[in-house]
Amino acid sequence: MIGVGRTAVRVGNLEDAVPTSSRPLRKLGFLTIGLFDEADPRAGHESTLRIIELGEQLGFDSAWVRHRHLQYGISSPVAMLAAASQRTDRIELGTAVIPLGWENPLRLAEDLATVDVLSGGRLNPGISVGPPNHYDEVKQALYPDTADFEDFSHDRVARLLRFVRGEPVTRFSGTEGFEVFSDRVQPHSPGLGSRLWYGGGSLRSARWAGEHGMNLLTSSVVKAEESEDFAEIQSSHIRTFRAHHPDGDRARVSQGLVVIPTDSATPEQRAKYEDYVRRRTPRTTSPHGPARIMFAPDLLGTSAQIAEQLHAHLAYREVTEVAFPLPFTFDHADYVQILTDIATKLGPELGWHPTR
């Protein structure tokens, strides 16, 4: 039965009800890649920490960092968020996302729990699976003895979930001499298991995350499986996730589209932003490669214009949480302007109110 204010949309053989209008935005977040100069890496990392501090001052609900290996971006987001946890008091801190192909799930579970304890329960780890990028070139450095036997399937995520949620990892526990041993990851942070997010861009990943009780991070990248309309594809992922999640329609989903408000931008900034969007737009017109990857268009304009586009976006109408990615290559002053406009202009246009 179709409820009031909803309309039937068919994707493949699946017919579900989707909202005909947006609900007020409940949680507003942002995402940064944390670029730095190889000759002076501290400055870039410090800039990222100052941006997170600014986000808290502006009332954002969450700040997220990307993960970049062997690049000039944040290679250790857990360490960065440990530092951020000591410079903020309220804002939630997330990773979007940690690629588990580079990680030992047991050791990562210890690091995540430690930072969650240090932050007072504010950590939101986002993860994904699959072989590391350029695996043939890096595997001998990463897994010199086990490269051909590593499991990069969802089983790797399941291991992390078990460890974070407090299931035993060893048959040994008790006292040995003066030392006391636990059979589960320590420290154990009881709420962390409910704050694990899966970064999914396919129907298979969305379903798996739902079946395992995770939260879902959707981004500006998806696989074109049943449509070549980005919003339709993303909406189908969200509905598939919730259809298989124990919490159903209450299961948490965060959307991440690139938005660049220009309300307080200088003429020079507007020109830079327009050039950035113009260069990136051609990739959004059709699927790419064997995996049929599709990219969402960047949303550029005044906050009122961006809000109008979001309210019309099929997938945005499914969510009440967002984490807008900051463009990769801008300057610190640009990020200050964009974040300030998002918090003071765009957020209110979407029905959001800052947390103080």
In this predicted model, what pLDDT tens digit does every residue of 328-356 receive, in sequence order?
Answer: 999 999 999 999 999 999 999 999 999 76
SS3 294: strand
Interatomic CA distance for residues 353 and 281, integer angstroms: 31
SS3 280: helix
Residue 63: half-sphere exposure toward Cβ, Cα within 13 Å: 31
What is the pLDDT, as a whole number, of residue 15? 46
pLDDT at residue 197 above 70?
yes
Q: Is 295 exposed, middle or buried (0-12, 13-18, 19+ CB in 10 A)?
A: buried
What is the pLDDT, as a whole number, of residue 6? 39
Q: Taking a C-beta distance cutoff of 8 angstroms, is the pair 224, 287 a contact?
A: yes
SS3 174: strand
Does 63 map to a domain? yes
* Mean pLDDT in residue range 60-88: 97
* Mean pLDDT in residue range 54-58: 98
Does 191 map to a domain? yes
Helices vs strands, H then E, count in the chain: 11, 16
Lowest mean pLDDT among 9-13, 43-47, 156-160, 214-218: 9-13
Does 354 map to a domain? no
What are the angstrom distances between the C-alpha of 74 and each of 4, 67, 238? 45, 5, 28
Two structure tokens written together for 271: 């020109």
Two structure tokens written together for 35: 């670029």
Does 138 map to a domain? yes
Q: Taking a C-beta distance cutoff of 8 angstroms, is the pair 9, 20 a contact?
A: no
What is the pLDDT, as a whole number, of residue 1? 29
* Mean pLDDT in residue range 110-138: 97
* Mean pLDDT in residue range 322-330: 96
What is the pLDDT, as a whole number, of residue 20? 65
Instruction: Count CB atoms within 10 A of the CB of residue 86.
Output: 11
* Mean pLDDT in residue range 158-176: 97
> The CATH number of the domain where 143 resides is what?
3.20.20.30
* Mean pLDDT in residue range 107-111: 98
Lowest mean pLDDT among 17-26, 107-116, 134-143, 149-158: 17-26
Two structure tokens written together for 137: 């070139």
Instruction: Count CB atoms within 10 A of the CB of residue 31.
Output: 24
Q: How confident is the model at residue 148 (pLDDT cuts 50, 70, 90)?
A: very high
Q: Taking a C-beta distance cutoff of 8 angstroms, is the pair 218, 237 a contact?
A: yes
Give the rounded percent of residues in the chain with a pLDDT score beyond 90.
Answer: 92
Residues 6+ apart with CB under 8 A from 355: 59, 60, 61, 90
What is the pLDDT, as a whole number, of residue 18? 59
What is the pLDDT, as a whole number, of residue 3? 32
Does 260 map to a domain? yes
* Mean pLDDT in residue range 160-167: 98
* Mean pLDDT in residue range 313-320: 98
Does 66 map to a domain? yes
What is the pLDDT, as a whole number, of residue 22? 77
For the chain, the average pLDDT equals 94
Q: Which residue has the tokens 């420290």?
A: 187
Q: Is 286 exposed, middle or buried (0-12, 13-18, 19+ CB in 10 A)?
A: exposed
What is the pLDDT, as a whole number, of residue 17? 55
Number of domains in the chain: 1
What is the pLDDT, as a whole number, of residue 250? 97
pLDDT at residue 7 above 90?
no
Does 1 map to a domain? no
pLDDT at residue 114 above 90?
yes
Nearest CA among 90, 159, 160, 153 for reference residue 125:
160
Q: Taking a C-beta distance cutoff of 8 angstroms, is the pair 254, 216 a contact?
A: yes
Does 355 map to a domain? no
Any idea of the CA torsion for 129, 220, 304, 351, to the nearest 10 degrees? -30
What is the pLDDT, as a whole number, of residue 330? 97
Range of the domain at 197: 6-349
Give the rounded percent of residues in the chain with a pLDDT score beyond 70.
Answer: 94
pLDDT at residue 9 above 70?
no
Q: Taking a C-beta distance cutoff of 8 angstroms, is the pair 166, 185 a contact?
A: yes
Nearest CA among 189, 64, 168 for reference residue 115:
189
Q: How confident is the model at residue 301 (pLDDT cuts 50, 70, 90)?
A: very high
